[in-house]
């Protein structure tokens, strides 16, 4: 009888253990956004583009402000570069994302749709990457000295976006530092030489 009682006690203990509620698995904390400068993102995008076409050359690099980064330090969580292939007679954009924002592309590099390329189109004129010596954070610092500081002093939450492309009129690679949500009608747009870091002009 003692053995029977001991066995029943053991079964009750085991039953109590198995019926205990299971702890829910811990959800890993979301990774913080990765904010980088234009040149840093461009290096990643350039490598990806050469997987598409060995002669791929960039003609535009631009940032996209979002909830994680307003661009005011020259960094962004989203950068897009567009490339042209003379051999393939086509252009293709690539986007780098370092954020999990629902309104942003997935983290990593995403290719965009391919389109036709015309060498005579001045808006898609490729540039030599050797000209991109000045980073977006330096372009931002220069723009701040030419009116940007006053914009942010008056409206601190103003987003700042960046575009770099080749100016075929002056034959120089140019950073366009744009203050405001509407790029077509910005509060201020400052041009900075992407090779020397020198101030060029205030567009608006």
3-state secondary structure string across 110-153? EECCCEECCCCCHHHCCCCHHHCCCCHHHHHHHHHHHHHHHHHH
148-164 pLDDT tens trace: 999 999 999 999 999 99
> For residue 137, is it within any domain?
yes
Nearest CA to 38 out of 1, 67, 73 is that of: 73
108 inside domain: yes
Check: CB of residue 35 under 8 Å from CB of residue 77. Answer: yes
Q: Count of domains in the chain?
A: 1
174, part of any domain: yes
pTM given for the model: 0.84
Q: Is residue 114, in this structure, part of any structural domain at all?
A: yes
Residue 77 lies in a domain: yes
Residue 12 lies in a domain: no
Range of the domain at 92: 38-202
pLDDT in tens, 99-137: 999 888 999 999 999 999 988 888 899 999 999 999 999
pLDDT tens, position by position, 164-200: 999 988 899 999 999 999 888 999 999 999 999 999 9
What is the per-residue burial (b if ≥16 Cβ within 10 Å, else e) of 122-159?
Answer: eebbbbeeebbebbbbbbbbbbbebbbeebbeeeeebb
Question: Does 4 fall in a domain?
Answer: no
Is 8 a member of any domain?
A: no
Percent of the chain having pLDDT more than 90?
74
Q: What are residue 87's phi and psi, to 5 degrees? A: -65, -40
pLDDT tens figures, 29-43:
778 899 999 999 999
């Amino acid at each position: 009888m003692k053995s029977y009682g001991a066995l029943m006690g053991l079964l009750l203990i085991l039953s109590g253990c198995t019926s205990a509620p299971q702890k829910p698995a811990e959800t890993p904390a979301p990774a913080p956004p990765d904010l980088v400068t234009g040149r840093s993102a461009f290096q990643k995008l350039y490598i990806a583009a050469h997987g598409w076409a060995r002669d791929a050359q960039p003609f535009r690099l631009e940032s996209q402000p979002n909830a994680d980064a307003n661009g005011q330090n020259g960094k962004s969580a989203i950068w897009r570069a567009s490339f042209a292939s003379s051999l393939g007679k086509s252009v293709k954009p690539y986007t780098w994302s370092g954020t999990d924002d629902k309104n942003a592309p997935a983290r990593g590099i995403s290719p965009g749709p391919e389109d036709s390329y015309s060498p005579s189109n001045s808006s898609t004129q490729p540039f030599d990457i050797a000209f991109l010596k000045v980073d977006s954070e330096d372009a931002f610092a220069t723009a701040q000295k030419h009116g940007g500081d006053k914009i942010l002093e008056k409206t601190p939450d103003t987003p700042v976006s960046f575009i770099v492309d080749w100016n075929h009129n002056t034959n120089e690679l140019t950073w366009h530092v744009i203050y405001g949500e509407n790029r077509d009608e910005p509060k201020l747009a400052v041009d900075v030489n992407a090779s020397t870091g020198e101030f060029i002009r205030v567009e608006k």
